A and B are shown apart, each in its own frame.
Chain A
Amino acid sequence: MKKRMLALLLSGIMTVGMLAGCGGNGSGSGTGGQGGTPLAEEPIDVLNQSETMKMSVVCLQGYTQPDSQIQKWLEERYNLDITVLALPGWSDAVSKITLLMQDETQRPDIIWWWNMEQDYAKWVEAGLLVDVAPYMDRYTNMRDYYNSIDPGVLFYAVDNSGAIYRIPGDVAEPACETLWIRQDWLENLNLEVPKTLDELESVLYAFTNDDPDGDGQNNTYGLGGDGYDLRSFWPWIQGCGDGFGRDTFLKMDDGSYIYGPTTDDCKKWLGRVSKLYADGVITPNIVTDTDRDEEMANGGFGVTYSWVSWNNPSVGPMQSFYSTHPEAKWVPINMVAGDNGTPQDDPASVAAWCYFGITNTCSDPERAYAIWDDMATPENYIHRRFGVEGEHYKDNGDGTYEILVPSDGTQNTEQNIGLKLFQDLFARKDFCNIENTKSTSELFEKVAANSRIAYSHTVEKKNPEAYTVNNDKGTDIGDAMKEYVWGVISGSKSLDDWDAYVQQIESLGVQDIIDELTTIHGAQMKEYEEYMKNAK
Chain B
Amino acid sequence: MAANKGTKKVDFKIRCQTTWRDMVKYRWLYFLLIPGILFFAIFKYVPMFGLRIAFMDYNQYNPSASQWVGFEQFVKLFSKASFLPVLRNTVVISLLKLIIGFPIPIILALMMNEMRSLKFKKVSQTLLYLPHFISWVILAGIIMTLLDPDNGLITQLIYSLTGERVMVLTSTKWFVPMLIVTDIYKGMGWGTILYFTAISGIDPQLYEAASIDGAGKWKQMLNITLPSIVPTIVVCFIMNCGNILNAGFDQIFMLYTSHVYEVADIIDTYVYRMGLINSDYSFSTAAGMFKSVVAFILIVIVNNVAKKTGNEGLY
- A interface vs B, CB < 8 Å? 1, 4-5, 8, 12, 15-16, 18-23, 25-30, 94, 98, 101-102, 115-116, 118-119, 122-123, 125-126, 128, 228, 283-285, 287-290, 471, 474-476, 479, 482-483, 486-487, 490, 492, 507-508
Contact = CB atoms under 8 A, between A and B. Distances in A.
A483 B52 CA distance: 35
B300 A5 contact: yes
B59 interface: yes
B82 A288 contact: no
Given A476-B81, A490-B167, A483 B262 contact: yes
Interface string B32-67: 000000000000011011011000000111111100
Most buried by A among B65, B148, B278: B278
B51 A16 contact: yes
B183 interface: no
B257 interface: yes
B144 A288 contact: yes
A102 B60 contact: yes
A475 B150 contact: no
B258 interface: yes
Interface residues of B, number: 42
B182 interface: no
B274 interface: yes
B89 to A, nearest CB: 13
B80 interface: yes
Contact of B170 (A18, A116, A283, A490): A490
Interface in B255-282: 257-259, 261-262, 265, 273-274, 276-280
Contacts of B165: 284
B171 interface: yes
A228 B150 contact: no
Contact of B48 (A8, A15, A290): A15
Contact of B82 (A29, A284, A479): A479
Contact of A284 (B64, B149, B265): B149
Nearest to A98: B60
B48 A228 contact: no
Nearest to B52: A20
Contacts of B170: 287-288, 486, 490, 492
B62 A122 contact: yes
A28 B52 CA distance: 16
Given A29-B62, A98-B60, A126-B65, A285 B278 contact: no
B49 A23 contact: yes
Contacts of A118: 278-280
Given A15-B45, A16-B51, A23-B49, 15 more contacts: A20-B52, A28-B63, A29-B61, A115-B276, A122-B62, A125-B59, A125-B62, A126-B62, A228-B257, A284-B149, A476-B80, A476-B82, A479-B265, A486-B259, A492-B172
B286 interface: no
Contacts of B45: 15, 18-19
B296 interface: yes
B65 A125 contact: yes
Most buried by B among A128, A290, A492: A492
A287 B259 contact: yes
A123 B171 CA distance: 43
B63 A26 contact: yes
A511 to B, nearest CB: 15
B277 A475 contact: yes
B49 A19 contact: yes
Contacts of A12: 296
15 contacts: A19-B48, A22-B46, A26-B63, A94-B279, A101-B61, A122-B62, A228-B257, A284-B165, A285-B149, A287-B257, A290-B144, A471-B277, A475-B273, A476-B80, A487-B259
- A-B pairs with the 6 shortest C-beta distances? A30-B62, A482-B258, A284-B149, A126-B62, A126-B61, A118-B279
A475 B165 CA distance: 32
B169 interface: yes
Most buried by B among A8, A289, A290, A490: A289
A486 B258 contact: yes
B304 interface: yes
A8 B169 CA distance: 43
A123 B61 contact: yes
Interface string B60-85: 11111100000000000000111000
Contacts of B144: 288-290
B262 A29 contact: no
A288 B46 contact: no
Interface in B178-220: none
A122 B278 contact: no
A487 to B, nearest CB: 6
A112 B79 CA distance: 35
A475 B274 contact: yes
A75 B154 CA distance: 55
Contacts of A27: 63
Contacts of B82: 476, 479
A475 B274 CA distance: 6
B65 A30 contact: yes
A264 to B, nearest CB: 22
Contacts of A125: 59, 61-62, 65
A483 B261 contact: yes
A116 B279 contact: yes
A128 B62 CA distance: 10
